Structure 1
Amino acid sequence: MKRQVPVATVVVNDTRLAQEPANPFSGSSLLPMLIVGIVLVLVGMIAAVMLS
């Protein structure tokens, strides 16, 4: 006879996994952060040249 997992346990496990925050150091988020950082540096350099 098969042992059935209670439905409440499955729901709790799925909810816990769905609420875990994304890792900011994951590979998918590093590239956008790199691009934004480069753009901000370039904008800051242009602003510094124009103000000097």
Structure 2
Amino acid sequence: MSFWDALRLFFISFALVAHMMVLFSIVTDLFRDEETSDISKALWKATLGTVCGADR
């Protein structure tokens, strides 16, 4: 493994962890809100799954 491969792996890992932290933050904030209806929460979760799952 060269230096550039290791550097690339570091940045990709950092971006993945940051992406996951943002997703978990959105989901916890969404389900913590008591004013939002259950249908709305389900639609938000489906939208996140569709949008965030599209890049894989």
Q: TM-score, normalised by structure 2?
A: 0.46
Q: Higher helix proportion, which one?
A: 2
- Higher RCO (C-alpha under 8 Å, 6+ residues apart): 2
> Which is greater in Rg?
1
Q: TM-score, normalised by structure 1?
A: 0.49
